[in-house]
Structure 1
Amino acid sequence: MYFVERGAGVDVLAVHGWTPDHRLMLGCLEPVFERVPGYRRLYPDLPGMGRTPAPPGVDSSDDVLAALDRFVDERIGSAPFLLIGESYGGYMARALARLRPSQVLGLALICPIGTAVEHAERTVPAHVTLRAEPGLESADPDFLEMAVVRTAATLEHYLADVQPGVEAADLGAMARIRQRWVLSTPPESGPPFERPSLILTGRQDSSTGFADQYPLLGHYPRATFAVLDLAGHNLQFEQPVLFGALLAEWLERVGAV
């Protein structure tokens, strides 16, 4: 798996969502970690996305999880690490925490897929744009379709962090994986994860919503659960101040264990 590495210290594995690549996580997390030394951040591209190929044998989310698990073996080994996942990456991160419960020091989820994996089964609000600057009506359609905060700043983040990965994705490979998208073993099928956790959701997230994540709390007894207003599926750059503060507080809780 292709990956980008930053910093030195305790390992942090950051897993991006469906279709974008490592730049999605790099863009939102580095401003936080630049203020908090002592962490080695690993940003991989999942199979079929970014610069990681997905050969024909990779045709399910189980295969994506297996590739991510091998990446941990190769780049982290048996050392303890922190785990952060966004959207589909949050689904993968929860499953990886199930596989390695004693090794994962803490788990942070950003707009994760909740208890309903398939889009048609999710409880989500209708899309709404609550803050809009003039002159952006003809911006990238994918950005407009998702933007709750439509400003020059959020568009800049989208173009830098999200769009390059979307354009680089192997759509054929992703369509193949999408046929077996639901993991064969649910992430919460094992014992509760009792390390410090963070679940961030957007009140206006029309992709993964916020309601299907609340039932996860029973499995994560050390979780802070936040529903941020004025935030959709791009919560990390629509509410950057709250995002940075809550992530920094999670790092403090993990460090205090």
Structure 2
Amino acid sequence: MVISCYCWCYDTISLNCLLTEVIVIVVSAVLCVTVIQGQNNWGVTYTDTHICVLEGSTVDIYCTYTYPSRINGRSTTVQTTSWFTKWKVNAPVDLRTDPDYTGRVEYYCPDKVCTLTIRDVRQRDSAVYKFRFITNQPGGRYTGEPGVTLSVTDLQVQVIRSTVHQFYTEAELKCLSSKSPTGRLTFVWFNNGQKINKMETASYKGQFNPGDHISCALKENEDCPSPPVCEFTSLYL
């Protein structure tokens, strides 16, 4: 059975631009399709898309799950719930016991809804996250597929210079990484989610309207733009 609907999932963080005329808002927003997978009333619902977040931020990954209330006259109860990215000795490694996530993960799982919270996300956290639950029924365990792909980036949009006019802002922006680049990097720029053609350098000069959202990405990962977004203001007389 497949049930589809649309939702907005977001995680917002505020940053400061270098200039007072510009406010930077980091937004991780994805239009997601909800899909229930499973048979005989067993299933897990995921946001079936990439989630892109900025390194150092906090991200929430959601799912809901379902199971038969009774099997052969026996009431079903959930005994354990867990999230994982890897297997060890034919069993998934619960993120709460994974040393790579020590002190950074939290589950909140009331009434067949489970939220995974990861704080201070790191680039090595980029992975496919899956939810698994085990019940009291014989063989009553279920792992949701395909999981949620998390992509973590350290790219940020920096304002080099800007001039605020009455109805627009002229600005030079730069896409920066906290790490020293190796080799020649090719960038992709987006204005309000639309790719800006012929802009493949780390810098971008242009005229921006109030409320424009500008983001950047490495070309090899342009399907997941970086969360940093600049919202421009102007002076209205």
TM-score by length of 1: 0.25
| Higher percent of residues as helix | 1
Q: Indicate the structure whose relative CO is greater, using CA pairs within 8 Å and at least 6 residues apart.
A: 1
TM-score by length of 2: 0.26
Return the index of the structure with the highest Cα Rg: 2
| Higher percent of residues as strand | 2
